[in-house]
Structure 1
Amino acid sequence: MPAQSDNTRGALFDPVFGAGDLATLLSDRAWIAALLDVEVAITRAAEKHGRATAADVTAVAAAAGELTRELDPAELGRLSAAGGNPVIPLVKILRERAQAPAAAVHVGATSQDVLDTALMLLAHKAGRLVVAELRGAAEATARLARRHRDTPMVARTLGQQALPTTFGALAATWLVALDDATASLDRALVSLPAQYGGAAGTLAAVHPDGLAFADTLADLLGLARPLVPWHTARTPVTGLAAALGIAAGAVAKPATDVVLMAATELGEVSEDAPGGSSAMPHKRNPVAAITARAAARRVPGLVATALASTDHEFARAAGAWHAEWETLTDLLRLTGGAAHQLSVSLAGLHVHADALTRNLELTGGAILAEKVAAVLSEHTGSAREIVTAAARAGTPLDRDPGIVEHLGADRVRALLDPTRYLGHAGDLVDRALAHHDTTADRPLGGQA
């Protein structure tokens, strides 16, 4: 059985959406390797509990190594169609290849045990890379927040100019969300459990060693010990899916802001290596942010699929279980890719202070109307109405008679200085950075 391409899915689009480094970890060949790793671990656990010999372990491990290198994913896929999952034909091939008794392979296990545990292995390995990509994006964000702590810009609410803020304060909101999402995903990965319950989840085939056998299997694979078999209690899957959904959302927010701020009319930021257009030579597209946003956009639907597949009937689901396999690996691929592309975007992001200032002054001081109204209210009970009328008429506030008669033009002009109405913008940046510096020093969960 000749080996085919190591990555039989996503070779065309994974690099576009940032998942190039995840492709190998989530490829069809990686699936086969994970399935065989679980089978070898089952035989090792059997040996530790007196149900297989050391020679059996050696033989099964040798055969599994050969199959990992040689087995054609396309051929295994064809063989899997009849039984509805790849474990059935894989166990048959492994038993034929291994120089060991058939009883030393797949000891006490069912197909779901092997497939669920392999999925957890893949998720744990790929998830570590996703966490690293999220941390990379957060580090780039922290540098921007620190560098532009006091760089003034206009805050926008509901698509309209609102009040002055700083670019650092905007970046701080990105940073906190990325740090929270990273911590959430890290916790989910640490808790991923092995699966071992046998045909109906009772461990009957390895009684009275079943509970110890399951714990041994988890320890051998570096996964969490399951409290009970979770064949139809899918919180490990939904917990991971939800954490990936949260992470994708944390990525999508800054990616969206970058895309909007890079628009020609705003010109407030630009990427270090913008993409061009096949038709328009003048275009400088923020491609990294665009593709980060694109990858993240596909995630909520997949999270919904995972959550909709929790109604596993009785001791094994007919269809809901099967729907999870590619859903979860696609979630990992997309979230990791989105985080990678965001990291690329933010690591080379140019913040154009001149454009920020230009846009901050676009309303001629109207964005300081709140401040002017507050001061004017000390002199008249109609302050809000007077300032609102001036703003709606487009009259500069330092020229409006109803305002100037109480405050004087010079005082109004002083009130219209946006750098004097930044509130706690700088303090918020400092707090976000302090939190980030604390969390960034923590080791990844599940790693020494």
Structure 2
Amino acid sequence: MPAHTGLTAPMFGSPDVMEIFSGAGLIRRMLDVEGALARAEARCGVIPAAAAATIADVCAQPEDGGRQPVIDAEALAQGAIGVGNLAIPFVKQLTAAVAARDETAGRYVHWGATSQDILDTALVLQLVDALRIQDGRLTRLADDCAGLARRHRDTVMVARTWQQHALPTTFGLKAAGWLDALRRDLMRLQDTRGRVRVLQFGGAAGTLASLGPTAPDVAACLAGELALAPPALPWHTHRDRLVEVASTLGMLCGTLGKMARDISLMMQTEVAEVAEPAGAGRGGSSTMPHKRNPVGCAAVLAIATRVPALVSTMFSAMPQEHERALGGWQAEWDTLPDIVASTAGALRQMGEIIAGLEVDAARMRANLDLTGGLILGEAYMLALGQRLGRLPAHHLVECASRDAVAANVTLLDALRKRLAADPALAGLLDDADLEQLADPTRYTGQAARYVDAVLTEWQAARGAQDGAP
């Protein structure tokens, strides 16, 4: 089913993945399954080779000799209303097209299969194609985050907790956090891709009784024709593989949403530490010409808001009845394509953002200095705590912080004044110690080491990926 077919499709989708899940994309893969089934059954002696050749040839052609589509999509959609799924009117149309070429061959279309075999296996083929695109796009995004982390390993900035200034950190560490999460998402995606690449072929009730003793051979041949793994048994009402796709992509959307939240907050006028890539008309307002809105982040956040509910639907559809679901299977038809297409849209948007992200290191440093050194209160406290004990040192720095705010001076100056005014405190820290403690670049902790560790892990992951078959 088409995902994001309205006017907002270019904003929230990705053309390549949307095409895969379009009506034409689904029909194309249903034809692929039927053509492969005919070839497999001919190889196993189930149907005549001549009939299989005709069926496969019709399935391989999107249009007949008169340039009419083999499958009429509108008639297919209307025909599904009364029978409950697309496969039944699809097989009817395909049989008519094959019989028009060879009446005998028409008798063998869809031999031994059931509707769900065709729909589920076509869905798997769609997922194989779509997740391969997601994998490549996610890898490129992670590479770009690695570049940001490397370039800004030592670019000092404010760390914010509860959206307030906390302590110094580095932009490299923030980018490394994005990268590390994306690396885990990529690992999950690659594992999921392997587990979902499985044939669905069980016949009417999951026993393949229709094919008698040839059933195992036909299933193996069909899996080979479609480059899918043969399952141990048909999985008509066991949907964990598909739900895993949904949950894996749901987590990826959450990661992308976290990145979009960070970037959009850093784009606020009062902060202005980063900006989405500039472009003609990008980020504009209909009434305020000066605006440069985080439009890419808005799209990613919208997707990250929508997708969890869709993932929940996939989980809710898992308890399916016996050997064929009544409603649960049908609930998946639009839901999973929407999740995949939405994730592709979020990846596309975030890929464009990170590839062209504008970073203002000078503004980061200026924001760090906004509080006149209050952000380094912990550093002063710990240094004094070695001489006074933690609680007295905390009280001293807290009082000096109030002094600094009231007098509109730096924390360094206020602390100097307090230390000089009390003979009991004189000499605890000399000017050199105080000046060193006032340097935020000396209080980024393990930020640089963490960045290096994440980059090393990413390089190892990329090496393994590049060496994979």
TM-score by length of 2: 0.89
Residue 391 of structure 1: aligned partner = 401
Structure 1 Cα separation of the partners of residues 17 and 287 of structure 2: 32
Structure 2 Cα separation of the partners of residues 62 and 403 of structure 1: 90
Displacement of 1:392: 4.8
Code of the residue aligned with 1:383 in structure 2: it is A
More helix by share: 2
Which of 433, 438, 444 lines up with 2:455 in the alignment?
433
State which drifts further: 91-100 or 167-176.
Answer: 91-100
Report if the CA contact (8 A) 1:185-1:243 is conserved. Answer: yes
Structure 1 Cα separation of the partners of residues 378 and 273 of structure 2: 25
Structure 1 Cα separation of the partners of residues 244 and 2 of structure 2: 27
Structure 2 Cα separation of the partners of residues 376 and 18 of structure 1: 55
Matched, 1:305 2:282: no
Which of 163, 170, 186 lines up with 1:182 in the alignment?
186
Which of 264, 268, 271 lines up with 2:269 in the alignment?
264
Alpha-carbon displacement from aligned partner over 1:2-29 (angstroms, at most 9, x marks no partner): xxxx979525222112412322111111
Following superposition of structure 1 onto structure 2, how do residues 246-285 of structure 1 map, counting pairs within 5 Å?
Answer: 246-273=251-278, 274-285=282-293
Stretches of structure 1 that go unaligned for 5 or more consecutive residues are 1-5
Report if the CA contact (8 A) 1:244-1:332 is conserved. Answer: yes
Which of 422, 429, 438 lines up with 2:444 in the alignment?
422
- CA separation of 1:8 and 1:236: change in aligned 2, threshold 3 A: closer
Structure 1 Cα separation of the partners of residues 79 and 352 of structure 2: 41
Structure 2 Cα separation of the partners of residues 368 and 439 of structure 1: 37
Structure 1 Cα separation of the partners of residues 399 and 215 of structure 2: 78
Structure 2 Cα separation of the partners of residues 159 and 44 of structure 1: 62
Structure 2 Cα separation of the partners of residues 313 and 391 of structure 1: 66
Residue 378 of structure 1: aligned partner = 386
Residue 159 of structure 1: aligned partner = 163
Stretches of structure 2 that go unaligned for 5 or more consecutive residues are none
Residue 148 of structure 1: aligned partner = 152
Report if the CA contact (8 A) 1:267-1:355 is conserved. Answer: yes
Report if the CA contact (8 A) 1:42-1:106 is conserved. Answer: yes
Displacement of 1:263: 0.8
Structure 2 Cα separation of the partners of residues 111 and 317 of structure 1: 12
Report if the CA contact (8 A) 1:373-1:384 is conserved. Answer: yes
Displacement of 1:82: 0.8
Displacement of 1:411: 2.5
Following superposition of structure 1 onto structure 2, how do residues 212-231 of structure 1 map, counting pairs within 5 Å?
Answer: 212-231=217-236
Following superposition of structure 1 onto structure 2, how do residues 403-422 of structure 1 map, counting pairs within 5 Å?
Answer: 403=419, 405=425, 406-422=428-444
Structure 2 Cα separation of the partners of residues 125 and 245 of structure 1: 18
Structure 2 Cα separation of the partners of residues 443 and 212 of structure 1: 34
Displacement of 1:393: 5.3
Alpha-carbon displacement from aligned partner over 1:121-172 (angstroms, at most 9, x marks no partner): 1011011111122112112111111111111001111211111111000000
Structure 2 Cα separation of the partners of residues 244 and 444 of structure 1: 22
Which of 204, 215, 233 lines up with 1:210 in the alignment?
215
Structure 2 Cα separation of the partners of residues 21 and 90 of structure 1: 24
Structure 2 Cα separation of the partners of residues 177 and 403 of structure 1: 45
SS at match of 2:328: coil
Displacement of 1:230: 0.8
Structure 2 Cα separation of the partners of residues 301 and 86 of structure 1: 25
Structure with higher Rg: it is 2
Displacement of 1:187: 1.5
Following superposition of structure 1 onto structure 2, how do residues 114-129 of structure 1 map, counting pairs within 5 Å?
Answer: 114-129=118-133
Structure 2 Cα separation of the partners of residues 320 and 269 of structure 1: 45
State which drifts further: 242-251 or 285-294.
Answer: 285-294
Following superposition of structure 1 onto structure 2, how do residues 17-416 of structure 1 map, counting pairs within 5 Å?
Answer: 17-67=12-62, 70=69, 71-98=71-98, 99=102, 100-192=104-196, 193-273=198-278, 274-381=282-389, 382-392=392-402, 394-395=404-405, 396-398=410-412, 399-400=414-415, 401-403=417-419, 405=425, 406-416=428-438
State which drifts further: 262-271 or 48-57.
Answer: 48-57
Structure 2 Cα separation of the partners of residues 393 and 371 of structure 1: 18
Structure 1 runs, 4 residues or longer, greater than 6 Å off: none
Structure 2 Cα separation of the partners of residues 331 and 403 of structure 1: 61
Code of the residue aligned with 1:228 in structure 2: it is L
TM-score by length of 1: 0.93
SS at match of 1:281: coil
Code of the residue aligned with 1:160 in structure 2: it is Q
- CA separation of 1:117 and 1:444: change in aligned 2, threshold 3 A: farther
Structure 2 Cα separation of the partners of residues 8 and 391 of structure 1: 55
Report if the CA contact (8 A) 2:3-2:341 is conserved. Answer: no
State which drifts further: 339-348 or 267-276.
Answer: 267-276
Report if the CA contact (8 A) 1:18-1:292 is conserved. Answer: no
Structure 2 Cα separation of the partners of residues 31 and 280 of structure 1: 44
Code of the residue aligned with 1:58 in structure 2: it is A
- CA separation of 1:265 and 1:357: change in aligned 2, threshold 3 A: same
Displacement of 1:222: 1.5
- CA RMSD of the aligned region, Å? 2.1
Displacement of 1:409: 4.9
- CA separation of 1:316 and 1:403: change in aligned 2, threshold 3 A: farther
- CA separation of 1:393 and 1:29: change in aligned 2, threshold 3 A: farther
SS at match of 2:169: strand
Alpha-carbon displacement from aligned partner over 1:329-380 (angstroms, at most 9, x marks no partner): 1111010110111010011011001110011111211111111111111221
Displacement of 1:410: 4.7
Q: How many residues align?
A: 442
- CA separation of 1:403 and 1:287: change in aligned 2, threshold 3 A: farther
Residue 3 of structure 1: aligned partner = none
Alpha-carbon displacement from aligned partner over 1:252-295 (angstroms, at most 9, x marks no partner): 11111111101101000012224211111000112222222222
SS at match of 1:162: strand
Alpha-carbon displacement from aligned partner over 1:173-221 (angstroms, at most 9, x marks no partner): 0001111111211221122111011111111111223233223222211
